[in-house]
Amino acid sequence: MPVVNENRSSSEMTSARDKNNSEDEKLANEAVIEVENLSFSYDLGKTNTLRDINLNIPKNKVTAFIGPSGCGKSTLLRCFNRMNDTIATAKITAGSIKIMGSDVSNPRVDPILLRKEIGMVFQKSNPFPKSVYENVAFGLRIGGERNKTAIDEIVEESLKRAALWDEVKDRLKESALSLSGGQQQRLCIARTIAVQPSVILMDEPCSALDPVATTVVEELITTLREDYTVVVVTHNMQQATRVSDSTAFFYLGELIEYDLTSKLFTNPAKKQTEDYISGRFG
């Protein structure tokens, strides 16, 4: 099972990690995303928003990032698909991120290719003001797909995969904005799936949804793990326990604890984690 580089802030700890046991070895092979000693800054290194993060995200599992606002969990998520590139002063100041074995913090990496492999779903559902069909087809069209039957097929498949097909199959030509909030968010998930990524990053996907819509999306997330590696950022600790296999707790830009969800929430190793999950702060 996936475990776990705990937060190692000293070089001594890093060297300790080098003497990895056989179980760690196995983990490394399974990991889709490997983060090593990552530090990240929004202001060209003056202050580090993320400090010395180490973690491996296992394949075909749901990993939850929890922590109070401003702890850097969304920032880390946006490092994975280089969405931070849109900010001129954002910079990885130390360490590396390997995705499926290749370093993505390298400036020679093409973020366009990377983002086709790593889809993202945002906090606020953001369908384009186009038809349902065109929303799902968007990624294919910009990828240069012209074949109408191929697009039709992928659109249907993606909508089915996002558990939305039955609700929208008769209104594919209607505006996506006419859908309900939960449907819009699932549409965004379908849109992401249509590009056929291997990892889906979700940045608080349910925070703008009502409880019923949240349940539907959460159920969807748990089924997505069969085909995708999912990383979910969430404020909602119950949600983390419901959907995730492992959970990382961030606090003030550092990874405090990363463990199996069942272990982290029942028997946290760190005092700060315990305080946070028991609601003493955050």
Partner 1 sequence: MDSKFERKKGRVSAELIATLILRGATYLVILSFLLIMGRIVVRGAPVLAKEGISFLTERPKILFGFYDENEKYHRLSSQEFREYQKENPNGIILSKQSANYSGGGIKSPLIGTLFLVLICIVLAMSTGIAAAVYLSEYSKRGPFIKVVRLAIINLAGVPSIVFGLFGLAFFCYFFPVITKSAPAERSAKAWEIPTWMYPSNFADEGYRIDMADTPPDSGSRKIIVHKADDGLEFSVFNARGAIVKRVKQYEIDATKPTWVDIENDLATIKSMRDSQSPEVFYQSSRTVEEEALISKLRPLLKLKRRLWLSFQGWEPSMIAAGCTLACMVLPIVITACEESLRAVPQGFRDAALSLGATQWQTVRKSVLPYALPGMLTASVLGILRVAGETAPIMYTGAFATGNLPWVGLREEGVWKVGEFFQRGCEAMPYHIYILSAKIPQSDLVRPMQDGAVLVFMLIVMALATTSVILRMRIRKKLKW
Q: Is residue 143 at the binding interface for partner 1, with CB under 8 A as the rule?
A: yes
Q: Is residue 177 at the binding interface for partner 1, with CB under 8 A as the rule?
A: yes
Binding window for partner 1 (CB under 8 A); candidates: 14-22, 140-148, 221-229, 273-281? 140-148
Query: Is-contact 14 37, C-beta < 8 A?
Result: yes
Q: Is residue 142 at the binding interface for partner 1, with CB under 8 A as the rule?
A: yes
| Sequence-distant (≥ 6) Cβ neighbours of residue 140 within 8 angstroms | 150, 151, 154, 194, 195
> Among 15, 20, 47, 89, which residue sits at the site for partner 1 (rule: CB under 8 A)?
89
Q: How far is the CB of 202 from partner 1 (least distance, A)?
A: 11
* Neighbour-count burial of 8, counting CB atoms closer than 10 A to its CB (0-12 exposed, 13-18 middle, 19+ buried): middle
Binding window for partner 1 (CB under 8 A); candidates: 44-52, 95-103, 136-144, 218-226? 136-144
Q: Is residue 46 at the binding interface for partner 1, with CB under 8 A as the rule?
A: no
| Residue 101, both tokens | 């074995």
Q: Is residue 126 at the binding interface for partner 1, with CB under 8 A as the rule?
A: yes
Q: How far is the CB of 162 from partner 1 (least distance, A)?
A: 14
Query: Is-contact 132 190, C-beta < 8 A?
Result: no
Residue closer to partner 1, measured from CB, 203 or 257: 203
CA 189/CA 143 separation, integer angstroms: 18
Binding window for partner 1 (CB under 8 A); candidates: 38-46, 79-87, 154-162, 221-229? 79-87
Q: Is residue 146 at the binding interface for partner 1, with CB under 8 A as the rule?
A: no
Binding window for partner 1 (CB under 8 A); candidates: 2-10, 27-35, 80-88, 92-100? 80-88
Residue closer to partner 1, measured from CB, 58 or 119: 119
CA 177/CA 192 separation, integer angstroms: 17
CA 95/CA 186 separation, integer angstroms: 34
Q: Is residue 122 at the binding interface for partner 1, with CB under 8 A as the rule?
A: yes
Q: Is residue 124 at the binding interface for partner 1, with CB under 8 A as the rule?
A: yes
| Sequence-distant (≥ 6) Cβ neighbours of residue 161 within 8 angstroms | 190, 193, 224, 227
The bridge status of strand 199-203 relative to strand 118-121 is parallel
Q: Is residue 81 at the binding interface for partner 1, with CB under 8 A as the rule?
A: yes
Query: Is-contact 5 22, C-beta < 8 A?
Result: no
| Sequence-distant (≥ 6) Cβ neighbours of residue 84 within 8 angstroms | 40, 42, 75, 78, 90
Interacting residues with partner 1 (CB under 8 A):
81, 83, 86, 88-89, 112-113, 115-116, 119-120, 122, 124, 126-129, 138-139, 141-143, 177, 188, 191-192, 195
